[in-house]
Amino acid sequence: MRWVLTLLILITFSSYAVEGYLIEKIVEVRYAGVKHITGKFGACLPDAGSQLKEVKDFVTENAFIREEKVIESSGEVLRARSTSIGLLSKEGIITYYVDHDRKLFRRLLIPYKHFVNQLILEGEFLSLPVLCNYEKRCSLNKSFYKFTGREEKIVKWKAKEVVFTVRTEKFVAWIAKDKDLEEANLTILRLQIKAVERGLRENRDLLNLYNDAFQELQSFIKEHGAPVRMLKVDTRSYRFVKETVKRVERINIPESMFKPPKDYEEIKLPI
């Protein structure tokens, strides 16, 4: 029996995997193309460029992996493949950018404070808008969003439309109740919470503001659900992004996905 137990242990460690979620999406990006959104968001401008991508997000509470395949860009059919890997560490977020077509990668260490500053600039968590800056509290309050009463079936989900208005951006989301979809988004939220807490250890006041926003986001997801489709329009740059979730699944993520392939060459960036 001992050799059987030893064999089982060896098999377990040789096929190490981490439980997490897979979120598959189709992402369409257009520049100067908000005419593609109807109604009050329309603004008859010519297209300056577009890109269509297939995206796979693999998420745990300590890592975020995004695989992208650009399948079309401004009318040109492409098969460009890349992966972004973000891992929480004591010093910051260890990030790998992997170019599969050229078999190259580069490694960066992003301090947690820089990550927090980027969140403040973007004002967004989980693809849901949150107003965050040093003057006003971080919040997803009811003055930012309104359910329109419209419903639509997207893939397999019955979704409700909700409109957000934050700064110069317009967000239109379709929210659905689904256990895996909600838990996948909450997993990403918990990952962001860890990074923010580490980046704001010396600024308890701002950390408390973020925690308020995180609590509101958690309550929103648990009550209403999570996005299965998101339209985002920046009225300054006329950049339009449409994300549609195609599949969500709880999976075991293999250890090999948390680092670049061994035969890829690292690009050293100048300091």
Q: What digits encode the pLDDT tens for the residues 226-248?
A: 999 988 876 666 678 899 999 99
* CA dihedral of residues 129, 155, 160, 131 (deg, nearest 10): 0
Distance CA 119, CA 196 (A): 9
User: Residue holding tokens 């098999």?
Assistant: 11
The per-residue pLDDT of the chain, averaged, comes to 78
Residue that wins the pLDDT comparison between 223 and 39? 223
Kindly indicate the confidence band of residue 208, based on its pLDDT and cuts at 50, 70 and 90. confident
Q: Which residue type sits at 2?
A: R
Instruction: Assess contact for 107 and 266: CB atoms under 8 A.
Output: yes
Q: Region 65-92: what's the mean pLDDT? A: 88
| Of 34-38, 231-235, 263-267, minimum mean pLDDT range | 34-38
Q: How is domain 19-266 classified at the architecture level of CATH?
A: Clam (2.50)
pLDDT of residue 180: 95
Give residue-wise pLDDT tens across range 150-203: 999 999 999 999 887 766 567 788 999 999 999 998 898 888 888 888 888 877
Both tokens of 152, joined, read 């639509």
Could you give the 3-state DSSP secondary structure of residue 125? Answer: strand
Host H or E run for residue 194: helix 179-199
Distance CA 192, CA 86 (A): 11
pLDDT of residue 236: 63
Distance CA 207, CA 196 (A): 7
